[in-house]
């Protein structure tokens, strides 16, 4: 067993640093300058643990790759139960997890990726995107307890050896010190080489910014693809690309986009664009994938959303209540009611080059969205999981 864990002694300083209203003001402050080297070490660091037993050196006809936004790991017991027992997800060979916490009060100060890896007997790699200066968003800030390490990022788990571990920082789409959720850092894409029998494959765990415009998401994806440009191994990329079709940098821009869609036919947009964002609204991101030789058409279940928004969500969402006029919400609710009270967005994707989707193999399953994942009556995550069976040979 080999492991290297991230630690720091910044806990007593985090709340004080959270009082600054912008990243510029924070970086000019005396407290930040005194702690800068340690902050940069932690935010730029990586963590790993290798717990998987050695596997026979035999080629398999395909390997299953799963991507799933775990929503911080809030429902940890449900996630672990699902990964152990679900008839399809439990057969995963590599897992690309967006949103995993280490030492956050909202997830009982767990090391989410490490605990999953140890319980499943797998290897893992984690890189923090953010050092959180508070307990989370406006809802999470009221949870009991205090953060320990306060780290949030993405992770890769694998039954096979991992090496050449690195992360690719993505340019922030907004100042993470503005608003109620104060954070230092940026989204990171994780790159790792998985040593399958007789073949290495690079996996990329991607989580693009949610509060971003379509062009900003495309720019972040181009950064990832530029980092993979000279990569000698085949590549499987997966994760939460936040292809909502909206400019979500600010509620104002999002609702301008909503009314643009209403004007151009909300019914048509829900049916033809929310789960097909490459057709128009997020077309630049998918153009970058095509130009880099990345195939997304054969690696995803077409037209099936991975995040679902309901009338009840609109009524209960505190942000909607704060920024959206009542009459605006009623129009949106009426539009959703025509679609069974739900609109689905396709945010989570795979893309690959140098390998093939194995759905022609008799035992392989076509690329699939796994929905309705619940444990003890509760949803496990706000995102559905996706998986693809890949022929690497």
pLDDT of 1 reads 73
Instruction: Write the DSSP string, 176-218.
Output: TTSSSS-EEE--EEEEEEEEETTEEEEEEEEE--SS--HHHHH
Burial class (CB within 10 angstroms; exposed 0-12, middle 13-18, buried 19+) of 285: buried
> DSSP secondary-structure letter at 261?
H
Tokens standing for residue 256? 């301008």
Residue 343: pLDDT above 90?
Answer: no
Distance of CA 196 to the CA centre of its chain: 24
Tokens standing for residue 50? 């290798």
Residue 320: pLDDT above 90?
Answer: no
pLDDT of 329 reads 60
Q: pLDDT for 348-393, tens place per residue? A: 999 999 999 998 777 899 999 999 999 999 999 999 999 999 999 9
CA atoms within 13 A on the CB side of 259: 10
210 vs 298, more confident? 298
- Distance from C-alpha of 75 to C-alpha of 73, rounded to nearest angstrom: 5
Residue 152: pLDDT above 50?
Answer: yes
Share of the chain above pLDDT 90, in %: 76
Q: If you average pLDDT over every residue of the chain, what do you get?
A: 90
pLDDT of 269 reads 65
45, 43, 46, 11: which is closest to 135 by C-alpha?
Answer: 11
58-72, 161-175, 199-213, 272-286: least confident range: 272-286
Residue 170: pLDDT above 60?
Answer: yes
pLDDT of 341 reads 66
Asked if 197 and 57 count as a contact pair (C-beta separation under 8 A), the reply is yes
Q: Which residues contact 37 (CB under 8 A, 6 or more apart)?
A: none
Residue 264's pLDDT band (cuts 50, 70, 90): low
Count of CB atoms situated within 10 Å of the CB of 202: 19
246-260, 294-308, 316-330, 378-392: least confident range: 316-330
Lookup result for tokens 């076509």: 366
- Distance from C-alpha of 80 to C-alpha of 206, rounded to nearest angstrom: 21
pLDDT of 315 reads 45
- Distance from C-alpha of 148 to C-alpha of 75, rounded to nearest angstrom: 19
- Could you give all domains of the chain from N- to C-terminal order, each with its CATH number? 2-243+350-391 (3.60.10)
pLDDT of 318 reads 45
Q: What is the dihedral of CA 4, 10, 11, 16, to 10 degrees?
A: -150
Between helix 251-263 and helix 326-337 the angle, nearest 10°, is 50
Tokens standing for residue 214? 């379509």
Q: pLDDT for 23-82, tens place per residue? A: 999 999 999 999 999 999 999 999 999 999 999 999 999 999 999 999 999 999 999 999
């Amino acid at each position: 067993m080999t492991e290297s864990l991230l630690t720091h002694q910044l806990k007593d300083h985090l709340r004080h640093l959270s009082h600054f209203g912008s990243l510029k003001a924070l970086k000019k402050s005396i407290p930040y300058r005194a702690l800068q080297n340690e902050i940069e070490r932690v935010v730029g660091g990586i963590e790993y643990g290798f717990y998987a037993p050695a596997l026979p050196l035999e080629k398999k006809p395909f390997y299953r790759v799963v991507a799933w936004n775990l929503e911080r790991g809030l429902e940890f017991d449900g996630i672990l139960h699902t990964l152990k027992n679900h008839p399809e997800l439990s057969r995963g060979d590599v897992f690309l997890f967006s949103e995993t916490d280490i030492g956050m009060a909202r997830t009982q100060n767990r090391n989410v990726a490490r605990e999953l890896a140890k319980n499943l007997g797998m290897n893992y790699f984690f890189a923090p995107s953010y050092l959180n200066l508070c307990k989370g968003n406006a809802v999470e800030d009221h949870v009991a307890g205090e953060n320990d390490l306060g780290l949030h990022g993405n992770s890769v788990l694998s039954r096979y050896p991992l090496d050449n571990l690195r992360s690719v920082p993505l340019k922030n789409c907004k100042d993470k010190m503005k608003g109620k959720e104060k954070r230092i850092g940026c989204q990171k894409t994780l790159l790792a080489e998985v040593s399958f029998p007789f073949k290495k494959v690079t996996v990329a765990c991607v989580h693009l910014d949610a509060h971003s415009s379509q062009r900003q998401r495309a720019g972040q994806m181009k950064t990832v693809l530029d980092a993979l440009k000279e990569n000698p191994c085949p590549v499987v990329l997966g994760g939460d690309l936040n292809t909502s079709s909206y400019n979500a940098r600010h509620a104002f821009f999002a609702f301008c986009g909503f009314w643009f869609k209403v004007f151009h036919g909300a019914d048509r947009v829900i049916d033809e664009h929310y789960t097909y964002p490459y057709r128009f609204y997020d077309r630049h991101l998918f153009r970058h994938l095509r130009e880099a030789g990345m195939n997304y058409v054969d690696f995803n279940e077409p037209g099936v959303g991975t995040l679902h928004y309901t009338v009840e969500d609109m009524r209960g969402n505190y942000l909607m209540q704060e920024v959206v006029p009542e009459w605006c919400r009623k129009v949106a609710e009426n539009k959703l009611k025509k679609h069974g009270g739900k609109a689905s967005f396709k945010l989570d994707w795979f893309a690959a080059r140098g390998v093939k989707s194995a759905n022609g193999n008799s035992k392989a399953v076509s690329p699939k969205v796994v929905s309705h994942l619940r444990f003890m009556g509760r949803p496990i995550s706000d995102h559905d999981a996706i998986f693809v069976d890949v022929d690497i040979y």
